Amino acid sequence: MENDLISKKELLELTGISYGQLYRWKRKLLIPEEWFVRKSTFTGQETFFPRDKILARIDKIKNMKDDASLDELADILSPNPSDIEVEKDKLVKEKVVSEVSMDIFAQVLGIPEVFDFQKTLYVYLVDKILSSGEASAEEGKIILKTLAESFLAFEGKQCDLLFVRKLGVSFCLLIEGQRQVSLDPGAKLVSRISIASVVEELKTKLSNGGFSDGKQ
Amino acid sequence: MKDDKKPNLKIIGDNSASGGRYDDAKIIGNGVIKGDLECVTFKSIGDSRLEGNLKAGTVKITGSIHVEGKTTADDIRVTGDLNIDGDFQAGHCHLRGGITTKSGIKADDLSLMGYVTVKKNCEAESFKADGQIKIDGLLTADDIEIKTYGASRISEIGGDRIVIRKGSGSSLGKVIKLLFVPSSWGNAMVTVNSIEGDDIHLSNTRAKVVRGNNVVIENGCDIDLVEYKDNLRVNRSASVREKKKI
């Protein structure tokens, strides 16, 4: 675990950002609170970050901050849904999700005229897990039901989607992000997806695809 | 929704009302509002209590108020005592007197004079405070300016420009002292665990660690460790145990 962390000092040196920027980004929630890990060192308390995540994030902020304001960036990077609305056909046409996933969505939750971000996220998650070949269409429905019923309860918190199979029986769980889970030896954790990172991926995809301003 | 004409609420004397959505809400005297209050303008003169959340455009309070829930406002001006149990979120914030929150503060700009107690983090773009300040969490803002008039204690400070100095002996300072700061006047020090910023200018500060690009340590400071990148200037009468250029 020690090697996966980077101290604040080292981070600033490595990325060339200033304390002012780091705290500003923290205030704008561009860097999640959970990434600030406090540890005691010989000089007292110091702050550390998960190395890969923070470096990737700062790289992303530095690249994007010329094109978008900090508030827009915060919207893209936050785990909370944005207020994007997309038409059903467009999601398939722009290859955000496959036709198969859309059908599954229709069977479980019905098909709305426009997809708000929440629904887009559900169908995108199912599409992701289906196209990885880790789950069947039938299992996709279970995942979709779980999401529809429980995802909102995690409002604002990081959360992970776990998909588990044992002796041919499959089920899925939603847990608070980065928590450790132990399964009995007979069960197999097929897939674990961090929803926050998928949200980020989807938002980037949607904002690049011109979905937010309704262009074709 | 904005166009809907909402009713006004007025409490005069010793009275209570239920919460709800109003256009103007006004309390003169000793008012209690039971439930959440949402309004465009909220004005209170006297001593009032809100048993719920407050959400308002502009808030003006003269006297004292206790909000038992969250407070959200675009513009808030208080002369007197502000007591909030939940989170406090505001745009412009102009507070004169005493403010106590059991949670955190989030504001665009925060101008305080008097005594301040914050149990969690205090975040703003600009933070200017004159008085006695107690923050149990992190104080972060682009621009932080503190004039201490008593023993202040802040767990951590982080930002761009950070200035801490002792409150001046001007007539204004004397008024503040007389009105707001009770006993601990003799000990005008800010005690902080760590201060991190780009430009730091400190006097009358006791800190374990100070980290920054340009650091100036003036008199009345007692610092265990200073880590700086570009410049460090230490006044002869200040005590800095260890200096490190990185």
Kindly report the average pLDDT of chain A as a whole number: 81
Q: Would you place residue A215 in the very low, low, confident or very high pLDDT band (cuts 50, 70, 90)?
A: very low
Q: Would you place residue A208 in the very low, low, confident or very high pLDDT band (cuts 50, 70, 90)?
A: low
Residue A179 has phi, psi (to 5 degrees) of: -75, 150
Which of chain A's residues have a Cβ under 8 Å away from the Cβ of B123? 27
- Whether A31 and A15 have beta carbons less than 8 Å apart is answered as no
How far apart, in whole angstroms, are the C-alpha atoms of residue A118 and residue A100? 19
Rounded mean pLDDT, B207-218: 93
The chain A residue lying nearest B156, using CA atoms, is A45
Torsion sign, CA atoms A125, A128, A133, A137: positive
Query: Which among A13, A19, A26 is the nearest to B197, CB-wise?
Result: A19
What is the reported pLDDT for B207?
Answer: 94
Which of chain B's residues have a Cβ under 8 Å away from the Cβ of A8? 196
Whether the predicted pLDDT of B82 surpasses 90:
yes
The chain B residue lying nearest A13, using CA atoms, is B246
The ipTM, to two decimals, is: 0.81
Judged by average pLDDT, the poorest of A72-81, B55-64, B95-104 is A72-81
What is the reported pLDDT for B138?
Answer: 93
Query: Which among B158, B193, B194 is the nearest to A23, CB-wise?
Result: B158
Whether the predicted pLDDT of B182 surpasses 70:
no
Q: Would you place residue B3 in the very low, low, confident or very high pLDDT band (cuts 50, 70, 90)?
A: low
- Whether B92 and B76 have beta carbons less than 8 Å apart is answered as yes
**Tokens representing B132?**
């006695």
The chain B residue lying nearest A20, using CA atoms, is B160
Whether the predicted pLDDT of A113 surpasses 90:
no
Give the domains, in start order, of chain A with CATH numbers: 2-77 (1.10.1660), 85-208 (no CATH)
Q: Would you place residue A151 in the very low, low, confident or very high pLDDT band (cuts 50, 70, 90)?
A: confident
What is the reported pLDDT for B177?
Answer: 60
Whether the predicted pLDDT of B169 surpasses 70:
no
Question: Which comes out higher in pLDDT, residue B162 or A216?
Answer: B162
Q: What is the pLDDT of residues A17-49, one digit of tens each?
A: 989 999 999 888 888 888 888 888 776 678 889
Question: Which comes out higher in pLDDT, residue B167 or B199?
Answer: B199
Are B160 and A44 within 8 A, CB to CB? Answer: no
What is the reported pLDDT for B133?
Answer: 92
What is the reported pLDDT for B170?
Answer: 60
Q: Hey, of A14, A23, A40, which one would you mutate to test binding to chain B, going by the most B CBs within 10 A of its CB?
A: A23
Rounded mean pLDDT, A1-13: 80
Judged by average pLDDT, the poorest of A103-117, B14-28, B33-47 is A103-117
Which residues of chain A are at the B interface, by a Cβ-Cβ cutoff of 8 Å? 8-9, 13, 18-20, 22-24, 26-27, 43-45
Share of chain A above pLDDT 90, in %: 1
Kindly report the average pLDDT of chain B as a whole number: 89
